[in-house]
Amino acid sequence: MENSVRGNTPLPSGYPESALNKASSGAHATVDSLAGAADQAVRKAKPAIEQAAAIAHQAVDKAANAAAPAADWLSEQGESLTAAQKQLVADTTRYIAANPLKSVAIALAAGFVISRIIR
């Protein structure tokens, strides 16, 4: 003789149906109670989580606002250094074109000095 309590769970024969129903109902009530408690905990925690997220967003915004001027300055300095590099290359190219023998002599002397320093 198989009976069912909740859903399609079969009951073994020999068990009193009322005791199993009580146990099953008690277990279901406990599960419902725990689910309700968990739901309340989530509801209580949600404002704290939202507040923590808002504070984190504010911190990120402050960091981004503080970093923006530094990034702009670095960008400007990078452009300035690039312009200086291009000017130096252009000046060196003109000097070498105007003084080829002197440029070769300077290069040889610089190579000699560097090789002595490395040894």
Q: Mean pLDDT throughout 21-32?
A: 82
Q: Could you tell me if 8 and 24 are in contact, meaning their C-beta atoms sit under 8 angstroms apart?
A: no
What is this structure's pTM? 0.39
Q: pLDDT tens digit string along 16-25?
A: 567 677 777 8
Q: pLDDT tens digit string along 87-119?
A: 999 999 999 999 999 999 999 999 999 999 998
Q: Could you tell me if 1 and 13 are in contact, meaning their C-beta atoms sit under 8 angstroms apart?
A: yes
- Number of domains comprising the chain: 1
Residue 106 belongs to domain spanning: 3-118
pLDDT value at 44 more than 90: no
Q: Which residues, 6+ apart, have CB-to-CB distance to 13 below 8 Å? A: 1, 2
Q: Mean pLDDT throughout 40-51?
A: 83
